[in-house]
Amino acid sequence: MTLMLVVCGALLGAGVPVPPTPVPSATPLPRLVLDVDRHVREVAETEMPRFRIEVTGRTPQQAFEESLRGFDTLCGPGGGGAPTVAEMKPYRPNAVSPSLVSVDVLKLIAGLKKMGPDRFFLYRMSRPEGVTYILNDGRLPVSQLLLPGAVLEPIAAFPDRATAVRAWRRMQRGFETPEAREVQPCTPK
């Protein structure tokens, strides 16, 4: 090996071109070819399959007809429509008549929303540039109501975030009050 390097070095130093050493050609790797159908046939001929799947197909119309089996689809149950409350009364012994219960659902929901302590507070911030509104999670201390160049005044308090955000957006749009007043329906004179 060292002799070869010395000879190559001497030849290169003398300016004699050195013939390139031949590189062995790459041999292609054998390809793996699977014949799945042949293997399945061989296994099926020698032993029985261990499981069997049977698929029974039916059209949507056949499935619909099967679900309606036993019902008279031409005449129907009779009576033409859903049963009335009077017709259902014998089958509902513990039910209360709707005429006995009169609840204003909107007032009930409004009363439920007011439950709980006030958690969100709406403040009006007056500055020389104009008026903006701030919604805070918790009451601000009195020391923070007077800021340099701004005065904060409390407007309203709310127990839940959704009502507070609705009121803040309403005030940002220029309304006078944070909550919409109930409008009495007009009665013709």
Q: Is the pLDDT of residue 12 over 60?
A: no
- Within 26-148, where are the H helices? 36-46, 60-67, 85-88, 105-113
Residues 6+ apart with CB under 8 A from 165: 135
Instruction: Report the share of the chain in percent with pLDDT over 90.
Output: 3
CA distance 17 to 51: 73
Average pLDDT over residues 50-79: 76
Q: Is the pLDDT of residue 76 over 80?
A: no
Rounded to the nearest angstrom, the gap between the alpha carbon of residue 82 and the centroid of all alpha carbons in its chain is 37
pLDDT of residue 188: 53
Least confidently predicted of 8-12, 40-44, 62-66, 147-151: 8-12
Pick from 85-89, 151-155, 185-189 the range whose average pLDDT is largest: 151-155
Least confidently predicted of 4-8, 23-27, 73-77, 166-170: 4-8
**With bands split at pLDDT 50, 70 and 90, how would you rate the model's confidence at 133?**
very high
pLDDT of residue 35: 84
For residue 189, give both structure tokens. Answer: 């004179």
CA distance 138 to 158: 10
Q: Is the pLDDT of residue 64 over 80?
A: yes
Residue type, 152: L
What does residue 169 show for φ and ψ, rounded to 5 degrees?
Answer: -65, -40
Q: Is the pLDDT of residue 104 over 70?
A: no
List the chain domain ranges: 111-172
> What are the tens digits of pLDDT across the range 162-187?
888 999 998 888 888 887 665 555 55
CA distance 37 to 41: 6
CA distance 27 to 48: 43
Q: Is the pLDDT of residue 96 over 70?
A: no
Residue type, 81: G
Single pTM value for the model = 0.38
Q: Is the pLDDT of residue 67 over 80?
A: yes
Rounded to the nearest angstrom, the gap between the alpha carbon of residue 67 and the centroid of all alpha carbons in its chain is 34
- C-alpha distance from residue 112 to each of 106, 142, 160 (Å): 10, 30, 11
